[in-house]
A and B are shown apart, each in its own frame.
Chain A
Amino acid sequence: MENNTAPKKRILIVDDDPDIAEAISLILSSKGYSSKTTCDGAEVAKLAKEYKPDLILLDLLLAGYDGRVICKELKGDKSTKEIPVVMISAHPSAESTVAKAGADGFIPKPFSIDSLMSNVEKHIRL
């Protein structure tokens, strides 16, 4: 559990639907996490290096980008490969494909707060 003295864990949220990104950010904030959001797949690698998140929540189909390709790139870069990546998607057959991209977990859309948080707590870097 988070306490007042420990620095907040950081989560990078990547989703091209700004409402979903905002909802996730609000949920995480209410649970004591700090977060940064982006809708742009091109920014992910740069933000991962600068923001140094403890977890990345990555949508599978971003406008113009395949989240699985981004995930592979993150896992192939020594400065970001240790960051856990949990992929999120409404696509029915996505779950079976994300593991091949190196993702650590998967959350199907739509998700409940409980399901989101149990996945975050399971995968976040301690």
Chain B
Amino acid sequence: MKKPTTPKTKTSSIGQKLPSIYADGSEMDEMLKMMEKLLHWAAIVESSDDAIISKSADGYITSWNKGAQNLYGYKPSEIVGKPVSVLMPPGKQDDFPYIMGQLHAGKKIEHYETKRVTKDGRILDVSITVSPIRDSSGHIIGASKIARDVTERVEYERRRDDFVSTASHELKTPLTSQLAFGELLEEMIDRNGNAEYKPYIRKINEQTGKLIGLVEDLLILSRLRGGRLPIENKLFSIHKVVKQAVESLQLTTKHDIELRGKTERKVRGDSNRIGQVVTNLLSNGIKYSPKADKIVVKVAEKNGFAVISIQDFGIGIPNEYHGKIFERFFRVSDTDERTYPGMGIGLNFCKDIIERHHGKIWLASKKGEGSTFYFSLPFAHGK
């Protein structure tokens, strides 16, 4: 045990004079270093433009930096001790149980985009990161939260997405006339002769079809990026949805689309979106197998999941691209595939939709041997 001696005066680099209570001064140095470090961190927190808040394990605010004051308008004396839910506007109150649930599970929440309300009632778009704080025995005693104002960025993205959405809608109107008159002309040629013109009008119609596909891609992209693709949550027959998509596509293609298998069981989710996934995968199958004349669609049950497969007999996808094929904007860079229109959005859309239904999507394919795309969806319980 060390014996206290006459205090010496030590001057820390932050200008504070502190007494040294030990003869050799070593522990005092440690303490000073620790305090310096703490003050250094405190200065960083206090001068940050981001709002840095800490809260207790039951969600009460315990500290509040200047960035938080600038962002939300409350002084520390007005907000410390209040529940963090006062910052959550109507419609975002569900954030509280979600964040607390993650926190108590010891999970960090990173860059979660949501809305918060300021002292004067303005609604802000914020990106928040919440990390659990543990005591020396590992128990979660609270959380730190860093919030950044992303209102301007979100507004910019909203305008951009609205523009893309409006532009694609405006593009579809002339395309509707173009397609309708083009197909009419093709039918007239069939009726009235002049067969020598038919290949040309057919080419025009095919190109119109490609243009329509690209416009659809743009539209899907704007909605995916905006996170505004609404998903219903209703029971539906997966077999019926697949069958409808097959019948609808069959009207537009020379490929014979064969539907095999059946299930009576239902899944929960958005039948329109799942229908779009099937249509998308079927369209891809048709597009990438121009020399084949068949697509095989199978519906099966496996371990509580509906498994749907769509098999084409076309150009296939080299193995090295299988890991990336569902990434947004990814396109196979082989010369063969490059000649097909597309923007690398369709499969990413399918993945997004299937994952939002708690399912999986994957493929089996070899270059030159065709592709089979699979997706699975959990069956609804009790049905």
Contact = CB atoms under 8 A, between A and B. Distances in A.
Interface of A: 17, 19-20, 23-24, 26-27, 30, 90-93, 95-96, 109-116, 118
B183 A91 contact: no
A96 B168 CA distance: 19
Contacts of B123: none
A17 B219 CA distance: 22
Interface of B: 165, 168-169, 172-173, 175-181, 183-184, 187, 208, 212, 219, 223, 230, 248, 251-252, 272
A30 B185 CA distance: 11
B251 A23 contact: no
A17 B173 contact: yes
A20 B272 CA distance: 26
A100 B168 CA distance: 25
B66 to A, nearest CB: 43
Contacts of A90: 169, 172-173, 176
B94 to A, nearest CB: 23
Interface majority SS on B: helix, strand, loop or mixed? helix
Contact of B183 (A20, A96, A109, A113): A113
A114 B180 CA distance: 10
Nearest to B172: A90
A112 B169 contact: no
16 contacts: A17-B173, A19-B181, A20-B177, A27-B180, A27-B183, A30-B187, A90-B169, A90-B173, A90-B176, A92-B165, A92-B223, A96-B272, A110-B172, A110-B212, A113-B180, A115-B251
Nearest to B228: A93
Contacts of A114: 251-252
* Best-buried of B176, B219, B248 by chain A (most CB within 10 Å): B176
A24 B180 contact: yes
A116 B251 CA distance: 11
Q: List 9 tightest A-B contacts by C-beta distance, closest first.
A: A23-B180, A90-B172, A110-B176, A19-B177, A114-B251, A109-B176, A113-B183, A110-B175, A110-B179
Given A90-B169, A92-B223, A111 B272 contact: no
B43 to A, nearest CB: 50
Contact of A111 (B169, B179, B184, B187): B179
Contacts of A93: 230
B176 A95 contact: no
B172 A112 contact: no
A118 B219 contact: no
Nearest to A18: B177
B111 to A, nearest CB: 27
A24 B251 CA distance: 18
A40 B173 CA distance: 17
A17 B212 CA distance: 18
Given A112-B183, A112-B252, A20 B176 contact: yes
Contacts of B272: 95-96
A111 B183 CA distance: 10
Given A92-B223, A110-B175, A110-B176, 11 more contacts: A17-B173, A19-B181, A20-B177, A95-B272, A110-B208, A110-B212, A111-B179, A113-B187, A114-B252, A115-B248, A115-B252
A116 B178 CA distance: 15
B184 A27 contact: yes
B251 A91 contact: no
A26 B251 contact: no
Contacts of B165: 92
A91 B176 contact: no
Contact of A118 (B168, B212, B251): B251
A26 B191 CA distance: 14
A24 B176 CA distance: 10
A92 B223 CA distance: 10
A103 to B, nearest CB: 15
Contacts of A96: 230, 272
